[in-house]
Amino acid sequence: EVQLQASGGGLVQAGGSLTLSCKTSGFGFDVTAIGWFRQAPGKEYEGLSCSDTSDGTTYYTDVAKGRFHISSDNAENLVILQMNSLKPEDTAVYHCAAIFPPDYGLACRAPLLISDYDNWGQGTQVTVSS
């Protein structure tokens, strides 16, 4: 069964860092694109970053660029989102999502929309306090 499990969320003070993990199973991890998205209360999903696991291509939206870093470990079927310099406005539920062949090669670029992805997990809550 296809599964994407986001974890690592929690409560952190402004300026702090947090590392989220997306553990996947049930599909070919090395031929996919994994994206990170978030949804703040009352807001739409916002794309953050994407990693094409087949060739290492990465993409960052403006909100994530410079503060967040995505990486992947193909052997462990794992994608990491390292978040630094967190702000209260980063408070949201963070989701990882996957695109499967053949479309994954086109996924890691603008616009980064969760609706374009084939599967995503429940998400993990990140709360940044002032």
The token pair that represents 100 in the structure block: 């499967």
3-state class (DSSP) for residue 8:
coil
* Residue pLDDT, tens place only, 93-125: 999 999 988 888 888 999 999 999 999 989 999
pLDDT of residue 124: 98
Residue 62 has pLDDT above 90, yes or no: yes
Computed from CA positions of residues 76, 66, 125, 99, in that sequence, does the dihedral angle turn out positive or negative? negative
* Torsions phi, psi for 105 (to 5 deg): -65, -15
**Ordered strands of the 18-25 beta sheet:** 3-7, 18-25, 78-83, 68-73
> Cα separation of 104 and 83, whole Å?
24
Predicted local distance difference test score (pLDDT) of residue 28: 87
Task: Give tens-digit pLDDT for 40-53.
Answer: 999 999 999 999 98
Mean pLDDT for 17-27 is 95
Average model confidence (pLDDT) across the chain: 94
Q: Which structure tokens are listed for 61?
A: 């939206």
